[in-house]
Amino acid sequence: MKFLLFLIVLVGCQTRFLFADPVTDNYHAGVNLYNQGKYQESITLLQKTVQTNSNSWQVYQILAYDYIKLRDFSNATSNGDKSLALNPDNPTLKALDDKLKTLVTPTPNATLVPTAPSPTPSSTEALKQTSDQKSSIYFSFGGVLPLSPTSFTGTWANGYNFDLGYGLQVAPQLSLILDGSGAFFPVNKSNFPALFIAGGEIYDWMILVNGKYNFDLNDVSFSPYFIIGAGLSVYQSEDRIVTDTTYFVTNNLPASYEVNLGLRGGLGADFKISNSNYLFVEADAVNALGINNLLYFLGRLGLKTDL
């Protein structure tokens, strides 16, 4: 009986060995880290797996995708080649590996269009496609400076602005951003008789569609960009004047409004502070076309969060 039990256990162990999944727990953990955007951590973990199981083509494939995300195309190509050497029947990876080689040895108009990795059926759903569109929200606050015309610069002082937007990445370096903003300019009392102007302000409310292009410097922590936009501008003017100089009685004039075409163009830079958060600084020239034809400088500091 004891001998029979020993044979059953032995056969069970051998069967488990024969049908063992070559993809280790470290591999699955590496996939999860990739899915969370923790590419360097995924690489560290998967390299440990390679040390114990150098015949896992799935591990090399995920390592290749990790390096793509870090824009290390040389290591990405190396790991892609290792995966294909172990498993040549992988047309998806083969096509990507060929594109990677054009980036390691650049050719005119060479572009990388990665596709979703498919190492094993069990991890296909967990692994995101590297070509997925990303969406982001933007919030910023800053200052504004009147530039022209002289009726604008002579009447209104420096003010402030705020902005809230939603962006969608439509290409590796191009995003479309829909944002709403407000610029506030207080009256410049120094240019008026003390007993005439009691106060006032103008507002420029804008809803713009913007195109943002990030320059690729192969540095994931810093990315300069330029941005242009066009949309709707609503000019709002409010004045308070002195109607009785003896008793300093003031009166609010009816607010006036003007709907214009709004334009914006500027330069900025994104600074990565975590996997999905960026600080950005931006300097713009803003033009509200119309009767007043306002032109002002806008500088802002903001936060971008990938969703």
* pLDDT given at position 186: 83
The pairing of strands 249-252 and 256-272 is: unpaired
Which three-class secondary structure state does DSSP give residue 116? coil
Q: Is the pLDDT of residue 65 over 80?
A: yes
Residue type, 259: V
Comparing 7-21, 44-58, 231-245, which segment has the lowest mean pLDDT?
A: 7-21
Report the C-alpha gap between 306 and 134 in whole angstroms: 7
Which residues is 261 bridged to in the sheet? 232
* pLDDT given at position 106: 47
Query: Which of 140, 79, 131 is CA-nearest to residue 104?
Result: 79
* pLDDT given at position 142: 94
Q: Are 135 and 170 in contact (CB under 8 A)?
A: no
* pLDDT given at position 233: 93
Report the C-alpha gap between 99 and 211 in whole angstroms: 27
Report the C-alpha gap between 28 and 49 in whole angstroms: 10
CATH numbers and ranges of domains, the chain: 2-124 (1.25.40.10), 135-306 (2.40.160.20)
Comparing 11-20, 77-86, 182-191, which segment has the lowest mean pLDDT?
A: 11-20
Query: Span 202-220, mean pLDDT?
Result: 85
Angle between helices 25-35 and 57-69 (to 10 degrees): 20
Total-model pTM: 0.53
Q: Is the pLDDT of residue 111 over 50?
A: no
* pLDDT given at position 168: 93
* pLDDT given at position 73: 84
Indicate the pLDDT class of residue 178, thresholds 50, 70 and 90: very high
* pLDDT given at position 18: 33
Q: What are phi and psi of 230, to 5 degrees?
A: -150, 150
Q: Are 199 and 168 in contact (CB under 8 A)?
A: no
Q: Are 274 and 304 in contact (CB under 8 A)?
A: no
Q: Is the pLDDT of residue 239 over 70?
A: no
Angle at alpha carbon of residue 245, lines to 241 and 249, rounded to 5°? 55
* pLDDT given at position 29: 85
Comparing 86-90, 106-110, 212-216, 284-288, which segment has the lowest mean pLDDT?
A: 106-110
* pLDDT given at position 163: 95
pLDDT in tens, 117-176: 544 444 444 444 444 568 999 999 999 998 888 767 777 778 899 999 999 989 878 999
Angle at alpha carbon of residue 271, lines to 204 and 279, rounded to 5°? 40
What mean pLDDT is reported for the chain? 76
Indicate the pLDDT class of residue 36, thresholds 50, 70 and 90: confident
